[in-house]
Amino acid sequence: MIDEEKKKEILEKLKRAVINYDEDGARDAAKEALEAGLDPAEAIFNGLVSGMEEVGRLFERQEYFVPELLMCADALYAGLDILKPHMKKLDLGIKGTVVIGTVEGDVHDIGKNIVKMMFDVAGFTVYDLGRDVPLDRFVEEQLRTDADLVCLSAMMTTTMVGMKKVIDEIKKRNPKAKIMIGGAPVSHDIAEKWGADGYAKDASNALKEAINMISALKKLKEDAEAKAVSE
């Protein structure tokens, strides 16, 4: 069992490595976390990801710019490469299919990748469309896979507006599909206004929202099947 002081020290090293865009430091701290018996999920979310959250704040305050953001992401991924293979799959009692991507015109995919990893670990089937995804592609992929959930990410207000088009089109073609949106400029109010079923301000919130939405969807399907049988 790792003692609290040691745990805090390693988490701080992971966090600082990301903030200081130190790839070697992130790898070393990730290896140290594993050797010390620290839970890999905790090392990722309370170490690397909290470092990236701080980077996001520095970016908002214009203390960091795009080049720093990309170098910090490289440090984050360097640590992730070591920790991710050691994460255990969770059995949350629900399985679902998710289509995820960053909308057209937007190449920021750090948040999207972290959310995708949460879905992977939780045992969801994930179709990752990547970044700068043409809006029609989300609709096509949802119809092709019959995914329970479509997750749209945007980091800029200029690209965020494309989400509404995707939401409208998916709802028109497949009203049962659930849609979740997220990213820095997105808010709960915007999600409601545009007709999204959920809004994720961070990765763990995204997973909780997804589980709630897919649970509701499964219940609807079961109720419909039970009604069909009784008739």
Q: CATH for 4-86, among 3.20.20.80, 1.10.1240.10, 1.10.287.3510, 1.20.950.20?
A: 1.10.1240.10
Mean pLDDT of 142-150: 95
Identify residue 10 by its one-letter amino acid code: I
CATH 3.40.50.280-classified regions of the chain: 97-226
pLDDT at 155 over 90: no
Q: What is Dmax (Cα atoms) for the chain?
A: 64
| pLDDT, tens only, 164-219 | 999 999 999 999 899 999 988 899 999 999 999 999 887 667 878 888 888 878 78
Q: How many residues does the chain have?
A: 231
178 strand-pairing partners: 149
Task: Give the pLDDT band of residue 111 (cuts 50, 70, 90).
Answer: confident
* Whether the Cβ atoms of residue 70 and residue 52 lie closer than 8 Å to each other: no
Quick check: 168 and 195 in contact, CB under 8 A? yes
pLDDT at residue 135 in the model: 96
* Residue 49 confidence class, pLDDT cut points 50, 70, 90: confident
- Residue for token pair 């896979």: 145
8 A C-beta contact, residue 44 and residue 78 = no
pLDDT at 219: 80
pLDDT in tens, 17-38: 999 999 999 999 999 999 999 9
Where in the sequence of the chain do the CATH 1.10.1240.10 domains occur?
4-86
Q: What local confidence, expressed as pLDDT, does residue 73 receive?
A: 87
**Contacts for 94 with CB less than 8 Å, ≥ 6 apart:** 211, 214, 215, 218
CA-based Rg of the chain, rounded to a whole angstrom? 19
Mean residue pLDDT across the chain: 89
More confident residue, 16 or 67: 16
DSSP labels, 139-164: HHHHHHHT-SEEEEE-SSHHHHTHHH
Q: Do 18 and 26 meet the contact criterion of CB atoms below 8 Å apart? A: yes
CATH of domain 97-226: 3.40.50.280
